[in-house]
Amino acid sequence: MPERKTFILRMNKELWEKLQRLASQELRSVNAQIEYLLREAVRKRGRGGRASAREKRRAKGD
């Protein structure tokens, strides 16, 4: 597994609560949900909407 970078992220309570609900619905931790949402945003913006093979497998749940 690639090395991961640790950092502090501040957000307002309302956003945190929304992320908690979304993560719970998708059976993820809040941290994993934030990482997923960031990855999706970067994929959509940075690569014209094309996902890598690894991202496609993750989306399928493999």
Is the model's pLDDT at 61 over the cut of 90? Answer: no
Q: How many CB atoms lie within 10 A of CB 58?
A: 13
The verdict on residue 40 lying in a domain is yes
The verdict on residue 2 lying in a domain is no
Number of domains, the chain: 1
User: In a 3-state reduction of DSSP, which class is residue 26?
Assistant: coil
Burial 20-42 (b: 16+ CB within 10 A, else e): eeebeeeeeeeeebbebeeeeee
Confidence of residue 35 (pLDDT cuts 50, 70, 90): very high
Domain that holds residue 34: 13-60
How far is CA 39 from each of CA 13, 59, 60, rounded to the nearest angstrom? 22, 11, 15
Q: How many CB atoms lie within 10 A of CB 55?
A: 14
Confidence of residue 58 (pLDDT cuts 50, 70, 90): confident
Better pLDDT: 48 or 55: 55
